[in-house]
Amino acid sequence: MAVDRFSTPLYTVAKASHYLGVPDSTFRSWVRGYVRRSDGRADVRGEPIVTVIPGQRARSASVPFVGLAEGLVLAGIRRSGVPLQRIRPAVEALKNEFGIAQLLASKSLYTDGAEVLYDFAERSDDSDADDVRQLVVVRNGQHVFNEVVDQYLRRVEFADDGYAQLIRLPGYQSATVVVDPTRGFGQPIFGSGGARVEDALSMFWAGESLADVAIEYGVPESQLEDALRVATRYAA
């Protein structure tokens, strides 16, 4: 079955949040949006910001590859310490400026997004402008994303159409684990050898030693141990 980066549901919300290292509740709010109510104040609403495929059954895969790429960028923003709800207007400004669907998964964000964000903050009188500025620094005379966000953006490889085509997942220390919609139906695979992470770990959980798994799948034991650490964190 061919995988379309934009329309093939590949990941459940729970799996996507685990792959990106963010709480399930956080990723769910990116997918579904949120409404926060408080006595005596107007409701605060956040619209969905990650692409999902509508009409999927509960707890089944609904997030396409492009949605995972969008989530990776948001995870970087979150890790940089800037609350997403504080920069949502800036994200909307980016979308309006470029006129690109799924901008967060587009190379345009990487090449020109920091400059547009900075200009937005300079023009804005809103208190959120200070939060937007935290995402941008000046380096060699150019406005670029701060180190944390930049590190996340560097995990993405882009196709000729300008959209993400491969992601190197965060959270691993010695293993390189990638998501490539052209291999393994878009499920995480080891960068060395191309074995699906789930297949290798399933062999270990079935009772085989790490040494035997390493020989079977051509993955160094240290990388298998790293993948086990990440998987155990998810299970916990």
Work out how many domains the chain is built from and give that number: 1
Structure tokens at 219: 């993955």
The reply to whether 65 falls in a domain is no
How deeply is 122 buried, as exposed, middle or buried, from its count of CB atoms within 10 A (0-12, 13-18, 19+)? exposed
pLDDT at 235 over 70: no
The reply to whether 200 falls in a domain is yes
Structure tokens at 197: 């992470």
User: Each residue of 125-139: pLDDT tens digit?
Assistant: 777 788 888 899 988
The reply to whether 43 falls in a domain is no
pLDDT at 23 over 80: yes
User: Each residue of 173-193: pLDDT tens digit?
Assistant: 999 999 999 999 999 999 988
Q: Compute the average pLDDT of residues 154-180.
A: 97
Q: Which residues contact 8 (CB under 8 A, 6 or more apart)?
A: 2, 53, 64, 65, 181, 186
**What's residue 158's pLDDT?**
98
Residue 44 carries which side chain, given as an amino acid letter?
V
Instruction: Tell me which residue has tokens 């944390």.
Output: 148
pLDDT at 100 over 70: yes
The proportion of the chain whose per-residue pLDDT surpasses 70, expressed as a percent, equals: 97
The reply to whether 158 falls in a domain is no
The reply to whether 10 falls in a domain is no
Span of 18-27, 54-63, 82-91, 128-137 with lowest mean pLDDT: 82-91
The reply to whether 146 falls in a domain is no
Give me the domain span that covers residue 232: 171-236
Q: Which residues contact 11 (CB under 8 A, 6 or more apart)?
A: 19, 61, 62, 63, 67, 68, 186
Q: How many helices (H) and strands (E) does the chain have?
A: 10, 8
The reply to whether 206 falls in a domain is yes
Q: How far apart are CA 162 and CA 168, in angstroms?
A: 17
Looking at per-residue pLDDT, the higher value among 95 and 229 belongs to 229
pLDDT at 195 over 80: yes
Q: Compute the average pLDDT of residues 104-125.
A: 90
**What's residue 130's pLDDT?**
84
| Chain centroid offset of residue 62 CA | 15
Q: How far apart are CA 85 and CA 104, in angstroms?
A: 16
Q: Compute the average pLDDT of residues 133-153.
A: 92
User: Each residue of 27-43: pLDDT tens digit?
Assistant: 999 999 887 777 777 77
Q: How far apart are CA 49 and CA 78, in angstroms?
A: 14
The reply to whether 104 falls in a domain is no
Which domain CATH number covers 192?
1.10.10
Q: How many CB atoms lie within 10 A of CB 147?
A: 11
